[in-house]
Structure 1
Amino acid sequence: MTLMIYTLKKLLFPVVFILLSLNSFAKELFVPMDLVQWKYKGDKFSCSLNQAIRHFGSINFVAKPKQPLGVQVNSFHVKTPYERAILSQVTSPWESDYPPVVIEEIGLPKKAGKVSFYDDIENLLEAMAQGQWLGFRLTSSQLNESLDVTVPSVNITQAMADFNQCRAQLPAMAYRDARDVVLQFNLGQRVVSSSQKQTLVDLASYLKHDKNIKRVLIDGHTDNVGSSVANLQISKVRADDVASILRENGVRSSLMEIRSHGSRYPVANNNTQQGKAKNRRVTIRAIRKEEAVKRKGS
């Protein structure tokens, strides 16, 4: 049946048709090439490559900080009686007659109207840049029914270029990651490690993008080993080193507030080695303008 549908697809493109058999019911929607218009939309924290489909909804490539590239399908058809969704790479009609390549198959989410794919989307986007098309299928075992949508990759070149440029400029962190960062320090460690430095570089890339960040609080802490004066000094050295790396990567000094607390505010029991390890830390908190207003009013 799949081979029959695929063969008819080659013959009847680009019209919408219904194929009936004794055992199944399949509906296929082809987007006519003269109606295909991929569109780019983006800002500092999100990029999308969108194709609207009349009487169906839309298909979107979506990129966000620290998330895999995804394909999001928005449609009123994404609901029961359909149970599963399949994303495929489809050969254009004028190329060799190869069957569709399944990219990912998933069960439909409980919330109707939207389904997202994240497996191998980079390769799908690259294939579409080379002329391959996108296929989407909904299936229902209960009704032995399927709905197939095929979208050509024509008129995608400029929109895809803008989309990829937007992706390249996305920060390395999302706000949920940048809001509270905790760096743990080993006993005797005064400056950040190479992996911690990379975390700070990623954090700086976010802080430079988000113009709503009003303050960045950097707080140094220690365990209770040593004198209070020595611990206060160590916590200051650690916090200053963190601030220095953020500054080197473009974060304004006026944005940062650096504080050292020594061992005064433990988050774990200093009577255990595990507790001491948790207390040796520098925390970095990014506060947005709306949060600052709430804190001031509380």
Structure 2
Amino acid sequence: MARACIALLLTVALPAHALTFQTRMEEVEWSVEGDKFECRLTQPVSGYGDAVFVRRAGERPVFELKAWNNLMRPGQAQLYNDAPMWQPQARARLLGYTAVSDEQVAIRVPQQQAGQMLAGLASGLHPTIQRAAWANAVEPVRVVVSSIGYQQAWTDFQKCSAGLLPMNFDQISNSVVSFASGGTHLSASAKQLLDTALEYLQADEEITGIVLEGHSDNVGNRLDNRELARQRALAVRNYLVERGVAEELFSLRFHGDRYPVASNRSAEGRALNRRVNLKLEKS
């Protein structure tokens, strides 16, 4: 009974007529391109734009619809996996809603829904976006991503994804290196995190600066805590410099216990406050 209710909720009622943009079967093309930082799986949709699955290093894929001429009115669009005509027994399944903007990238679909779109493609379904048109047109606009040729494209996309770095710029730039109480030595987990950051630093030639901010909990006096914070920042810098990162890239700041991120009243909170924040800068 519960499954039947869920299936009913996921079934989407579609209007009989819509202005539909979909590439003809014999003209469907997929392309895969990328590098260590990002992979893109693209299908041009005739007359509308590019449907692109984007996977950044350290993340799952998202979906973008880049419109050459966006005919959808800004607002909430339906997102669903539609059944092709050669699967008459299948029914369209609603994946939720997504925002339409009037920018060149008209739609950005987050990871969970993008994963459902990819699963639909693997099952031979067509991910579809539907939204009212501009100027109060009677017919809504429907953009369809075809599953034709998807299997080979997915294999190529996986090969590209296998070469991605383990983390991206934003993730590395929000890294937190933790320390034991009163300690300034790097733990095994801290070194593992810095090794990952090092892999990124060696790959990205656009990095112009690395900011290290040392912190402590409130155990002890302020002068000692400030020195602890300094030693922790130095420990992180020295580890990276010894592995080839240019020393002139680093800027060190040490704050002691002035900027806690958690309450110092608990052991868990104090552990979170004993840290070095690593931030990256680009020109």
TM-score, with length taken from structure 2: 0.70
What is the alpha-carbon root mean square deviation over aligned residues?
A: 4.3
Whole-angstrom distance in 2 between the partners of 1:2 and 1:286: 48
Tell me if the contact between 2:80 and 2:92 (Cα under 8 Å) persists in the aligned partners: yes
Could you tell me which of 249, 253, 259 is aligned with 2:244? Answer: 253
Asked if residue 46 in structure 1 is aligned to residue 38 in structure 2, the reply is yes
Helix, strand or coil at the partner of 1:93: coil
- Correspondence for 1:225: 220
Could you tell me which of 126, 139, 162 is aligned with 1:133? Answer: 126
1:225 shift after superposition: 3.2
Q: 1:237 to 1:110 in 2, by over 3 A?
A: closer
- Correspondence for 2:4: none
Q: Map Cα deviations across residues 222-249 of structure 1 (whole Å, 9 max, x no partner).
A: 57936979975885467436754x68xx
1:183 shift after superposition: 3.2
Asked if residue 71 in structure 1 is aligned to residue 63 in structure 2, the reply is yes
1:69 shift after superposition: 1.7
Helix, strand or coil at the partner of 1:206: helix
Whole-angstrom distance in 2 between the partners of 1:269 and 1:126: 44
Q: 1:71 to 1:77 in 2, by over 3 A?
A: same
Could you tell me which of 268, 272, 285 is aligned with 2:258? Answer: 268
Letter in 1 for 2:131: L
Asked if residue 152 in structure 1 is aligned to residue 157 in structure 2, the reply is no
Any unmatched runs of 5+ in structure 2?
A: 1-11
Whole-angstrom distance in 2 between the partners of 1:68 and 1:41: 16
Tell me if the contact between 1:39 and 1:49 (Cα under 8 Å) persists in the aligned partners: yes
Tell me if the contact between 1:179 and 1:285 (Cα under 8 Å) persists in the aligned partners: yes
State which drifts further: 35-44 or 90-99.
Answer: 90-99
Letter in 2 for 1:125: L
- Correspondence for 2:113: 120
- Correspondence for 1:22: none
Q: Map Cα deviations across residues 52-96 of structure 1 (whole Å, 9 max, x no partner).
A: 12221121111113444211112223543x643222212232224
1:27 shift after superposition: 1.9
State which drifts further: 207-216 or 149-158.
Answer: 207-216
Whole-angstrom distance in 2 between the partners of 1:165 and 1:240: 37
Q: 1:71 to 1:287 in 2, by over 3 A?
A: closer
1:115 shift after superposition: 0.9
Whole-angstrom distance in 2 between the partners of 1:255 and 1:139: 54
Q: 1:238 to 1:83 in 2, by over 3 A?
A: closer
Letter in 2 for 1:200: L
- Correspondence for 2:235: 240
Whole-angstrom distance in 1 between the partners of 2:251 and 2:203: 27
Letter in 2 for 1:282: V
1:175 shift after superposition: 1.9
Tell me if the contact between 1:239 and 1:258 (Cα under 8 Å) persists in the aligned partners: no
TM-score, with length taken from structure 1: 0.67
Could you tell me which of 101, 108, 128 is aligned with 2:100? Answer: 108
Q: 1:41 to 1:234 in 2, by over 3 A?
A: closer
Whole-angstrom distance in 1 between the partners of 2:273 and 2:13: 61
State which drifts further: 37-46 or 198-207.
Answer: 198-207
Tell me if the contact between 2:211 and 2:251 (Cα under 8 Å) persists in the aligned partners: no
Any unmatched runs of 5+ in structure 1?
A: 6-18, 20-25, 291-298
Helix, strand or coil at the partner of 2:47: coil
Q: 1:100 to 1:243 in 2, by over 3 A?
A: farther
Instruction: Choose 1 or 2 for highest CA Rg.
Output: 1
Whole-angstrom distance in 2 between the partners of 1:227 and 1:28: 67
1:198 shift after superposition: 5.6
